[in-house]
Amino acid sequence: MLFKFILLALLGTLSLSAATPLPQEGPDKGASDRLVFCHFMIGITSNRKGAADYDDDMKLAKGLGIDAFALNIGVDPYTDTQLGYAYESAAKNDMKVFLSFDFNWYNTGQASAVGAKVKQYASLPAQLKVDNKVFVSSFAGDGLDLPAMQSAAGNEVFFAPNFHPGQGDFNAIQGALNWMAWDNNGENKAPTPGRNVSVADGDKAYVDALKGKPYVAPASGWFFTHFGSEVSYSKNWVFPSDLLWYNRWQQILGLSPRFVEIVTWNDYGESHYIGPLSSPHTDDGASKWVMDMPHTGWLEMSKPFIAAYKAGDKSVDKYITDEKLIYWYRPTPRDVNCDSTDTTMQGSPNNASGNFFTGKPNGWETMQDAVFVVALLKSPATITVASGKVSEKFEAQAGASAFTVQMGVGQQKFAVTRDGKTVMEDTSLKDIVDTCICGIYNFNPYVGTVPPEKTIDKLQSDGLAMLTQGLKVPCATNTLGGSRSPAPRSNDTWLFMYTAS
Ligand SMILES: *[C@@H]1O[C@H](CO)[C@@H](O)[C@H](O)[C@H]1NC(C)=O
Ligand SMILES: *[C@@H]1O[C@H](CO)[C@@H](O)[C@H](O)[C@H]1NC(C)=O
Ligand SMILES: *[C@@H]1O[C@H](CO)[C@@H](O)[C@H](O)[C@H]1NC(C)=O
């Protein structure tokens, strides 16, 4: 079929890096005191050289409506240097930040050390305060001596840790974060039909335990981790993910909690990052499944949902300002066998954590072989998705809607048409293949958008440092847009309008 192209250059900036914040209710505007946080791993940003290295993250997050980064910290020697940069950049970019103590590294006997660290940052201008108290959170930490922490902090603390109902003392805290943004089996693995603790079950347990205190509800898009014997922290499992990013935001609008925490900005190792691959970071070995897998389309998808959430609206529809499709899929069908070359099949890693499995990630059966498409539209349209040889059409209503298409090997094409005319269309830069990319099982999704983003998001050299470690086959690096003539990309945002001829 032949098409005549009409190219409309859009002035202004639909682009991510220059995103103009939408008018929205924030904590100091209107009646809403709802806030959106995003979990940020300081543990992989030791390579940043100054506050300026945090500016892009701060601007991008703020443009989306994220109010504060939850700065996850362990006890690494570079932590204070990086926290200094992050606080400085946040202040410069009108963002807020707060400490989130990771009790994988801290222990619950360190209440005074935790309090002292809170005190060290409490008076910096970018520190998030809620109800005039210094906001602090955690990953795990049930059993921390709260009066000792409060007293060492020397400030009134709004402590919203990731305590667990039935374990931590919910009477002594000001709020709580639920980390479990994925349906699970109650033992940190994928659910099975008989053992299923859904995300909504977690919401209920927290809301009940909090008895009216503020709940920090989690929102995540995915979970896949695949570390083998090439590192000491071997772990290999998935949680059911598929349409989670869309379904969870719909749930959040219904639940309307005081706070939402996006899990995460940059935890590449667990595949739940929404921040760019190009955000400066070191490689913990995750590049094997993160390279060529941008997720920033998810960040675009969340923007109207964040605006709706802050306004207390149950529907996202009237917050959609830019029409677009966001799509994602794993790069290979799940029955492809990579056992002979996969990293988790080599050596004999320590499994003291109970998180290590060989071969396909534990829980793989909970992932569908599908292409997921979210349409954000201002008026009804026909969505066409061609996944490999099979093409499907859907009638989409105005507003947000989601579609699932059977995964097909080959090119992935997406189009929006109205009255027989193509409004926008694109071919993904990532084909689905039935071979093992870099030799491994990769259950991380590729996320794309129509119209496409103006630049191809890529890992930088620090983020690729461990790519080949443990691999059994050659692994082509940063291939997106390289293998066939890529869709036109420019530094302006283009809207492609096609007229059939
Ligand atoms: C777990 O429960 C959720 C919510 O009811 C459901 O959507 C999901 O399919 C269930 N998963 C399994 C493995 O049973
Ligand atoms: C690691 O431990 C978990 C929990 O005991 C177990 O289910 C799993 O099979 C173990 N992995 C291997 C490779 O033995
Ligand atoms: C961006 O666009 C301008 C105007 O079209 C052009 O002059 C410039 O070279 C472009 N820059 C890049 C990096 O492509």
- CB of 197 closer than 8 Å to CB of 184: yes
- CB of 76 closer than 8 Å to CB of 43: yes
198 lines ligand 1 (CB under 6 A): yes
Beta strand 68-73 with 399-406: parallel, antiparallel or unpaired?
A: unpaired
pLDDT at 316 over 50: yes
pLDDT at 13 over 50: no
- Taking the C-alpha atoms of residue 352 and residue 355, their distance in angstroms, rounded to an integer, is 8
- CB of 65 closer than 8 Å to CB of 307: yes
pLDDT (0 to 100) of residue 31: 38
Residue given tokens 């347990």 in the structure block: 205
Confidence band (pLDDT; 50, 70, 90) for 4? very low
Radius of gyration of the chain from its Cα atoms, rounded to whole angstroms:
22
User: Which residues, including other chains, have CB under 8 Å from residue 307's CB and lie 6 or more apart?
Assistant: 22, 24, 65, 316, 319
pLDDT digits (tens, 9 = 90+) for 389-443: 999 999 999 999 999 999 999 999 999 999 999 999 999 999 999 999 999 999 9
Domain carrying residue 379 = 326-452+472-500
Residue 382 half-sphere exposure, CB side, CA atoms within 13 Å?
10
The answer to whether residue 80 is domain-embedded is no
The answer to whether residue 367 is domain-embedded is yes
- Taking the C-alpha atoms of residue 372 and residue 401, their distance in angstroms, rounded to an integer, is 11
Beta strand 96-102 with 133-139: parallel, antiparallel or unpaired?
A: parallel
- Taking the C-alpha atoms of residue 177 and residue 202, their distance in angstroms, rounded to an integer, is 11
Helices (H) and strands (E) in the chain, counts: 8, 21
Q: What percent of the chain has pLDDT over 90?
A: 89
pLDDT at 498 over 80: no
The answer to whether residue 431 is domain-embedded is yes
Residue given tokens 């995964």 in the structure block: 407
How long, in residues, is the chain?
501
Q: Which of 356, 358, 362, 364 to mutate to test the pocket of ligand 2 (most atoms within 8 A of CB)?
A: 356
183 lines ligand 1 (CB under 6 A): yes
Q: What residues are paired with 242 via a beta bridge? A: none
The answer to whether residue 496 is domain-embedded is yes
The answer to whether residue 483 is domain-embedded is yes
Residue 401 φ/ψ, nearest 5 degrees: -150, 160
Beta strand 35-41 with 68-73: parallel, antiparallel or unpaired?
A: parallel
In this structure, what token pair is assigned to residue 481? 């847009």
The number of angstroms, rounded, from the C-alpha of 498 to the middle of its chain's C-alpha atoms is 33
Confidence band (pLDDT; 50, 70, 90) for 3? very low
Provide the domain count of the chain. 1
- CB of 241 closer than 8 Å to CB of 33: no
pLDDT digits (tens, 9 = 90+) for 108-120: 999 999 999 999 9
Q: Which of 185, 196, 237, 242 to mutate to test the pocket of ligand 1 (most atoms within 8 A of CB)?
A: 196
Average pLDDT over the chain reads 91
356 lines ligand 2 (CB under 6 A): yes
Confidence band (pLDDT; 50, 70, 90) for 59? very high
pLDDT (0 to 100) of residue 411: 98
Residue 57 φ/ψ, nearest 5 degrees: -65, -45
Sign of the C-alpha dihedral, residues 78, 84, 85, 87?
A: positive
The answer to whether residue 349 is domain-embedded is yes
pLDDT (0 to 100) of residue 5: 34
Q: Is 438 exposed, middle or buried (0-12, 13-18, 19+ CB in 10 A)?
A: buried
Q: Is the peptide bond before 451 cis (omega within 30 degrees of 0)?
A: yes
Confidence band (pLDDT; 50, 70, 90) for 6? very low
pLDDT (0 to 100) of residue 482: 80
From ligand 1's centre to the CA of 208, what distance in Å?
21
- DSSP letters along 257-310, please? -SEEEES-SS-GGGT---S-TTS----SSTHHHHTT---HHHHHHHHHHHHHHH
pLDDT at 312 over 80: yes
In this structure, what token pair is assigned to residue 116? 């002292």
pLDDT digits (tens, 9 = 90+) for 235-283: 999 999 999 999 999 999 999 999 999 999 999 999 999 999 999 999 9
> Could you tell me the pTM of the whole model?
0.89
- Taking the C-alpha atoms of residue 246 and residue 249, their distance in angstroms, rounded to an integer, is 5
- CB of 255 closer than 8 Å to CB of 312: no
Confidence band (pLDDT; 50, 70, 90) for 32? low
191 lines ligand 1 (CB under 6 A): yes
pLDDT at 486 over 70: no
| 3-state secondary structure (DSSP) of residue 203 | helix
161 lines ligand 1 (CB under 6 A): no
The answer to whether residue 374 is domain-embedded is yes
Average pLDDT estimate for 342-359: 96
User: Which residues, including other chains, have CB under 8 Å from residue 147's CB and lie 6 or more apart?
Assistant: 172
The ligand 1 atom at the shortest distance from the C-alpha of residue 192 is 13
User: Which residues, including other chains, have CB under 8 Å from residue 462's CB and lie 6 or more apart?
Assistant: 47, 280, 281, 282, 283
**3-state helix, strand and coil shares in percent for the chain, rounded to the nearest 5:** 20, 25, 50
pLDDT digits (tens, 9 = 90+) for 196-230: 999 999 999 999 999 999 999 999 999 999 999 99
From the CA of 203, the nearest ligand is 1
The answer to whether residue 370 is domain-embedded is yes
CA dihedral 40, 46, 47, 53 (to 10 degrees): 40
